[in-house]
Amino acid sequence: MITEEITGHLPALPDQGLLHLFLKHTSAGLCINENADPTVRADFDKVFDQIIPEGLPYIEHTLEGDDDLPAHIKSTFTGHSITIPIANSRLDLGIWQGIYLCEFRRHGGSRNCVATILF
């Protein structure tokens, strides 16, 4: 979960508006989900790997490894951007919600996210 990392890099938020986050990568994604129980993330990994496993014999895009194309496909499920309302100068997330960077590569490296505040 990267909620605190995102909010730590933002300027003071307006009283009302929107925060739009865009991830500049094709093998990772962004989503909002439960932030209270760490088993949620582990279960997400298991389900994604069950639905889109590595090493499928008919996959052609393997130059960067067996995890590359499955990572691209998984990222289409989560998407690459999210928009969060701003209310009272805070992100208006639900009590159990947090921002997730979904890394689908085994060794994804650093990731870049663009934050745009609309008010």
Q: What's the token pair of residue 99?
A: 């921002």
How does residue 94 score in pLDDT terms, banded at 50, 70 and 90? very high
Written as one string, the DSSP assignment of the chain is --HHHHHHHS-PPPSEEEEEEEE--SSEEEEEEE-S-THHHHHHHHHHHHHS-S--TT----TT-TTHHHHHHHHHHH-SEEEEEEETTEE---TTEEEEEEE-STT-----EEEEEE-
What's the pLDDT tens digit per position in 12-69? 999 999 999 999 999 999 999 999 998 999 999 999 999 999 999 999 999 999 999 9
CATH code reported for the domain at 3-118 = 2.60.120.460
